[in-house]
Structure 1
């Protein structure tokens, strides 16, 4: 396992132990970065207008299209670290 992979795995554990729940926009960013890092570019059909949460998740992930998986992992790790230190919520 590469260094970024181990950091990414650790960040997935750390995010569950955050002192306070991040705001919805931060949660959406975490979701999108996780999906990009673990699965690559968005795939599947965009949810319809009745699935508001699914639509926002899809759009957030689609916004990262073309981002390399390792780059997404690094951004995810950086975001979790900033949340742990209380820098962003």
Structure 2
């Protein structure tokens, strides 16, 4: 089963039978945010919320990537991961 659109890829992630690695999850998250919201303009998380900081930094690392390019990479990544996790 392969996804062709962002929506299909999101649905496909819900069918994963095991959890991807933290690095894979960060990549999925950051590509999704870049594809849907564009560049990260949010305030940097403060304190010791390391998960929020990691997500923020992963998304920030994609600054300048177009929404279309991020969407294509997201769909490609989810298709690749689906071979491993479904």
Runs of 4+ displaced beyond 4 Å:
none
Indicate yes or no: 2:75 matched with 1:52. no
Q: TM-score, normalised by structure 1?
A: 0.86
Structure 2 residue runs without a partner (length 5+): none
Structure 1 residue runs without a partner (length 5+): 1-5
Q: What is the deviation of 1:19? A: 2.6
Q: CA RMSD for the aligned pairs?
A: 1.4
Measure the CA separation in 2 of the matches of 1:84 and 1:69: 22
- Per the alignment, residue 17 of structure 1 pairs with 15
Q: Count the aligned residue pairs.
A: 82
Superposed CA offset, 1:2-55 (max 9, x none): xxxx61110000011013210000000000000000000001210114111111
Q: TM-score, normalised by structure 2?
A: 0.89
**Bigger relative CO (Cα 8 Å, ≥ 6 apart):** 2
Q: What is the deviation of 1:70? A: 0.6
